Structure 1
Amino acid sequence: MKEQKKKRHIEGMDALRGFAILGVVLYHVMPGRFPGGFLGVNMFLVLSGYLIYKTSVWDLEHGKYAAGRFYKKRCIRIYPPLLIMIIAVWGILAVSMPEVAKGKDGEVLSVVGGYNNFWQIRQNASYFARMSQQSPYTHLWAIAIEMQFYLMWPLLFWLLRKLKKHTSMTVARTAVLVLVILGGLRMSIIYRPTEDVSRLYYGTDTRIYALFLGMFIAMIQKDVISFVQRRLPLWFINSLTAAGLVVMTGAYFIAEGQMPYIYQGGMFADGILCALILLLISAGSTGEWLDKSPFALVGRISYELYLWMYPIIFLFGYYKKNFGPESWCVQMILMVFAASAMHGLMVFFQYKKKQDPKGDGVVIGYTSTGFSVACIVLAVCVITAHQLPGDAVKDTAVKAQAMSQQQHRRIADEGKASKEKAPAAGETEKIKKAPLEKTDQDDNAGIRGQSITAIGDSVLLGASGEVKKKLPDCLIDAKVSRQVIQAKDIVKDLKSKGKLGDTVVLALGTNGTFSDATGKELIRAIGKDRQIYWVTASGSICSGRKSLITRSDPWQSNTKMCRLLTGHLLQKDTRSGLYPMEYI
């Protein structure tokens, strides 16, 4: 039995999982420092496709493969820790933040049913909108894609066996390679620069290529290893493996999830890199070293770590305590503790189940103990978040989340007509109390004769009715979940049509952070001959050593948007062509 397990063990696999999950965790905890960490999901999908094929072939050769047995093993691995996390998180939300817990039943059902990625696409829930539409279950879209793949796997495996039997292994490999290429091209074909990329990021049709790629690597692995080992020295194979890992890790620091190159072949190229690393590890001796590294330890708890990372991040974010080294360290410690505890419990109770296959007490013991541990971890999160220091600027980001959630709900109810509707009674009262009503005619005189274009997201969309009252001729281009990266193409399109005004207001940034390069490209696209105003909840635009940061309080977005558009001009920075705004 031990010899069989040793043969089934694939050296370096746990470490690759560790590399992948660390990228994903660091991206969510510190997106500004690890903007490309989301690429870790690519490695997970490649490894899943690879392992499913390898284990299914092994089971078939040993007379253990059956569709029912396959489904049972997958359900036992996926659902117990998943359900414990979902129920525990839902419970803590109901107790400590009931307004967030409301309306989660549809989302929870989509997670359990394995179609959460489709649910998020339907809800227009941008993966990269870090300050709006957040949910502690946002990250579970990837598990949904894997569940969908597992659901169709027995049929796909049967078709591959039939194809191999009636033709050859080469034909079967070619068929899978065609699926890989078609899946990789699918993302590039349907990519639109002016549209939110979450449809591409969440879509099963645009991400399944990575699973097929893992299958293809498993199918050609034996022949490729034999070929490589005959022609290349071991040191060179190991050097290539190390170089691949460095490039993969480096991408965590430099890639950006909304840059066009990611969806025009970049994601596909990263998947190929992951596949090549997997092949090289199998051909060389790097896997043996990686199995002894800390990455392997992290990889062994990667599933549980993936489940628990985002609920913990969400709780700290809700209490405005998810910024700074102290908070980051506390969050990651809690993640590791929760993942280790849940993984340890699973291993222990699986061992007990083998000793007593018919014992119902094992299942009850795992469920009760796991749920207790989960509740303790979440309670510690809430208590710790209250104790950590916070500041006013960080409050703005969290208020932006709440404001944007309100805007999304209102826009969904009102549809397109919301652009022309007057603000709600509560908002009208705020506007009456704001300095906007005290603005004299001289404020408006400063912008008479100028053409104004406002480009924004759901915050501007919600304020558009009030803006139109004040400036009927202002051209407003606003859309839910719009990202800063999309504004450059919108500006170019408006320029080509002669519709870009002399004054441009950018009401963007509440849906996530953006890089200096992205901000500068947008400013250059608008041009130095136009006056530019930027109102945002987060983000910076840098020129040389000078950092120009603009923020506003989204709770009073309607009022502040009107103030911007009615002539509160600020001093021009003639050196950089940027127009800084004070914190208003």
Structure 2
Amino acid sequence: MRRHSQYITGIDGLRTLAVLGVIIYHLLPNVLQGGYLGVPLFLLISGYFVTYQVTKHFDQEGSFDVRGFYKRRFKRLYPVLVAMLVLTTAYITLFARPLLHHIKATVITNLLWVYNWWEIKHGQSYFDQFGGASPFTHLWTLGVEAQFYLLWPVILVLMLHLLKRRTVKWLVLLLAILSAVEMAVLYDPQNINRVYYGTDTRAFSLLLGAWLGLTWPLDKLPRNLIRSDVQKLNGIGIAAIIITIIGFVTLNGQNPATYRGGMFFYSIVGMVLVAMILHPGASLNAWLTNPFFSWVGKRSYGIYVYQYPVMIFYERWVHVGVHPLVNAVVELLMIAIISELSYQLLERPLAHYDWTNLRQDWRNLRAVTWQGGIKLAVSILTLGIALFGFSQPDHQPAKNVVQARIEHNHQLAAQNNKQIAEGKKASTAQPTKLEREYNLTSDQVKKLQNVKITAVGDSVMADAASNIQKLMPQAYVDAQVGRQGADTPAVIDQLKAQGHLNKIVVLNLGTNGAMTKETVNQILAGIGSDRQVFWITAHVPTRPWQQTVNRQIKAAAKQHKNVHVIDWYQESNNHADWFAADNVHMDEQGNVHYTRMIAKAILNNK
């Protein structure tokens, strides 16, 4: 099970678990909401093996070849990263030009391994998977790892020279704890990017791996153990796997507890799991060794790098919401094929390539075969397209019709909300005009003019806000582009404290992702059972969580007598003419139908 003394085949199994967790999280976030915990597993593995390698050489030779380490590491990292940047930029240049915004900064910061710090200020949230998701977002991890590769060997060698080994061990553990404390202290629900992407706030996974490398060196672990000790190690390993999988399923990335110890806890569990796999006396290494895990593990770097562009570009063309599982399988196959091509054509050949022969190989291009000539021509063409896109002026993409309307309607809603808060009478349209526009009777319009509601939602609600307040001028609308379900309990509490939470509450949540059962309960508990809640189902055919969100809403209505379903998904499902190009936000006609449906539901409940 161990190909040679330093290659632990079970680690490929752990890499498989990690990369599948991340990919399934991206494909089906409602199924594996904690799949992003695969990243700490990768960091733990890196922290362990870098530290073990440095200390072993230091013990044997009294020094460590830092330059040689850099050469090996970056020879491994750069080719796949550069290929991904070139291919993705070329695709964007041809088929997704709005994504060229910030392309220079994205490419340069990735090549300099500081992309994670750039994303803290300029990037989108890792958990915003709807609003123009970037195909580069996931590369923040490579920045964190590369910075560790650059700094840690130097720091560790200095500590080994200046301090006793025992002191170094506890200092490393202390640094890991301080990193986790910093994550908890700096956590801001309005800006998760700082703690999620920051090298300092994510260092605890790397440092826990480093601490394990100092306290659990591979070459000093006993092979022959008594049966009871083997059983203990195996039991601990099995428990660590079960707890890790539970975290994959349950730990929501927007839950404050995740950043106030949750991620640190699962990093400790992952560290224990790594330790059990590494121990030659335990069975976990053998259990996590098989051809599939070996295949995925060896290609895990390429799989991780290519997965997000494949998903982003696929989901720009295909409506995955109706058949999320089928589309997830298709995307997995595409990722596997691209990763295999990368492994065979790029990673393996370059892993053993002697770069001192580059000049001679360049001179021998005339002797290249026709197959090689085609490969070279395609490569040059792809690079040329990417360079063309890279060289374009960096302009903020022009707002489309939907974005401009949402912004305009959001501003109008804010003005109307201010009037309501000040006790001023809101302006109303002519009843006869409203009757014709919304196909309502004069009696219905009259009732709606006086009904008081609070509407809380995301960009879909923001888009329809003007229509809602035109038909129901007493409506207080709090809608925000990109709003997640997890953000809503705090919004409800604020509205209640300000006296703006009326007896009728309309919710439009789920456009940007599925909610946990806990979040749904928090929202409804905040609103209270003395209010009537009208929850609008989601029409998000381009995202895999559409059906999950709608099941959540209907389940909540069954469990709470004061919750009523407004089935916008069912009503609008065969009306593509009601929607803008993104098939999620409505056009003017759609906003009218959407608002009329809300109004009729409220009237029918009175």
TM-score (norm 2): 0.75
Task: Give the letter aligned to residue 86 of structure 2.
Answer: I
Q: How many matched pairs?
A: 531
Query: CA shift at 1:568, angstroms?
Result: 0.9
Q: Which residue of 2 aligns with 1:254?
A: 250
Q: Is the 8 A contact 2:413 2:477 kept in 1?
A: no
The aligned counterpart of 1:129 is 128
Shift of 1:350: 3.6
Among candidates 574, 585, 594, match of residue 555 of structure 1: 585
Cα deviation, residue 303, structure 1: 0.2
Bigger shift: residues 89-98 or 296-305: 89-98
| 1:91 to partner: Cα distance | 1.2
Distance 2:495 2:380 in 1: 51
- Deviations along 1:108-133, one digit per CA (max 9) or x if unpaired, are 33333323333333235122222212
Displacement of 1:266 in angstroms is 1.6
Cα distance 1:221–1:565, how it changes in 2: closer, same or farther (>3 A)?
same
- C-alpha deviation, 1:544, in angstroms: 7.4
Counterpart pick for 1:211 among 201, 206, 214: 206
CA separation in 1, counterparts of 2:228 and 2:555?
Answer: 48
Alignment of 1:77-116 (within 5 A): 77-101=76-100, 103-116=102-115
Find the counterpart in structure 2 of residue 335 from structure 1.
Answer: 335
1:327 is displaced (CA, Å) by 2.4
Question: Unpaired segments of 5 or more residues in structure 2?
Answer: 383-396, 417-432, 540-545, 560-564, 573-578
* 1:221 corresponds to 2:252: no
Q: Look at both structures and tell me which one has the larger radius of gyration over its CA atoms.
A: 2
Structure-1 residue corresponding to 2:70: 71
CA displacement 1:292-331 (0-9 Å, x = unmatched): 3522321111000001111111121011244444322222
Matched residue, 1:501: 502
1:200 corresponds to: 195
**Counterpart AA for 2:106:** E
SS of residue paired to 1:453: strand
- 1:314 is aligned with what amino acid? I
How far the C-alpha of 1:262 sits from its partner, in A, is: 2.1
Return the alpha-carbon distance in structure 2 between the equivalents of residues 209 and 85 of structure 1. 28
Task: Report the CA distance between 1:232 and its aligned residue.
Answer: 5.2
CA displacement at 1:271 relative to structure 2: 0.6
Equivalent-residue separation in structure 1 for 2:119 and 2:496 (angstroms): 33
Q: How many angstroms apart in 2 are the aligned matches of 1:418 and 1:116?
A: 37
Counterpart for residue 568 of structure 1: 599
Q: Residues 389-538 of structure 1 correspond to what in structure 2 (within 5 A)? A: 436=437, 442-461=443-462, 474-535=475-536, 536-537=538-539, 538=546
Mapped contact 1:115–1:144 kept (Cα < 8 A) = yes
Aligned partner of 2:14 in structure 1 is: 16
How far has the Cα of 1:94 moved from its partner? 2.0
Alpha-carbon shift at residue 465 of structure 1 (Å) = 6.4
* CA distance 1:464–1:70, change in 2 (3 Å): farther
The one-letter amino acid of 1:115's match is V
Distance in 2, Cα, partners of 1:329 & 1:183: 37
Query: Which of 535, 543, 551 lines up with 2:555 in the alignment?
Result: 543
Equivalent runs, 1:23-422 vs 2, <5 Å? 23-60=21-58, 61-62=60-61, 65-101=64-100, 103-123=102-122, 125-164=124-163, 168-192=164-188, 195=190, 197-222=192-217, 233-283=229-279, 284-292=282-290, 294-322=292-320, 323-350=323-350, 353-354=353-354, 357-360=356-359
Q: Distance in 2 between the 1:126 and 1:39 partners?
A: 16
Separation in 2 of the partners of 1:91 and 1:335?
18
Aligned-pair CA distance for 1:368: 8.9
Deviates more, 1:270-279 or 1:501-510: 501-510
In structure 1, what is the Cα distance between the partners aligned to 2:215 and 2:405?
Answer: 53
- CA distance in 2 between counterparts of 1:371 and 1:523 reads 60
Structure 2 residue matching 1:301: 3-state secondary structure:
helix
Deviation at 1:467, TM superposition (A): 6.0
Identity of aligned residues (%): 26
Q: Helix, strand or coil for the counterpart of 1:477?
A: strand
Which amino acid letter does the alignment assign opposite residue 181 of structure 2?
Answer: L
Contact 1:24 1:41 in 2 (8 A): yes
- Contact kept, 8 Å, 1:436 with 1:559, in 2: the verdict is no
Report the alpha carbon displacement of residue 63 of structure 1 after superposing the two structures with TM.
7.3
Of residues 521-530 and 461-470 in structure 1, the stretch that sits farther from structure 2 once superposed is: 461-470
Q: CA RMSD in A?
A: 4.2
Asked if the contact 2:54/2:157 (under 8 Å) is kept, the reply is no
Which segment is superposed worse, 299-308 or 52-61?
Answer: 52-61
Worse-matched range after superposition: 497-506 or 469-478: 469-478
SS of 1:487's partner is helix
Report the secondary structure of 1:176's partner residue: helix
Counterpart residue type for residue 306 of structure 1: Y
**2: CA distance between counterparts of 1:440 and 1:112?**
63
The residue type paired with residue 231 of structure 2 is W
Q: Deviation per CA, 1:339-375, whole angstroms, max 9, x where unpaired?
A: 1221223454246524x74234669999995995999
Structure 1 residues 532 and 112, CA gap change in structure 2 (3 angstroms)? farther
CA contact (8 A) 2:402 2:587 kept: no
Alpha-carbon distance change, 372 to 230 in structure 1, aligned in 2, over 3 angstroms: farther
Give me the TM-score of the superposition, normalised by structure 1. Answer: 0.78
> Judging changes above 3 Å, is the alpha-carbon distance between structure 1 residues 104 and 562 closer, same or farther for their aligned structure 2 residues?
farther
**Amino acid paired to 1:203:** G
Contact 2:15 2:300 in 1 (8 A): yes
Q: Distance in 2 between matches of 1:523 and 1:371?
A: 60
Name the CA shift for 1:17/1:367 in 2 (closer, same or farther; >3 Å): farther
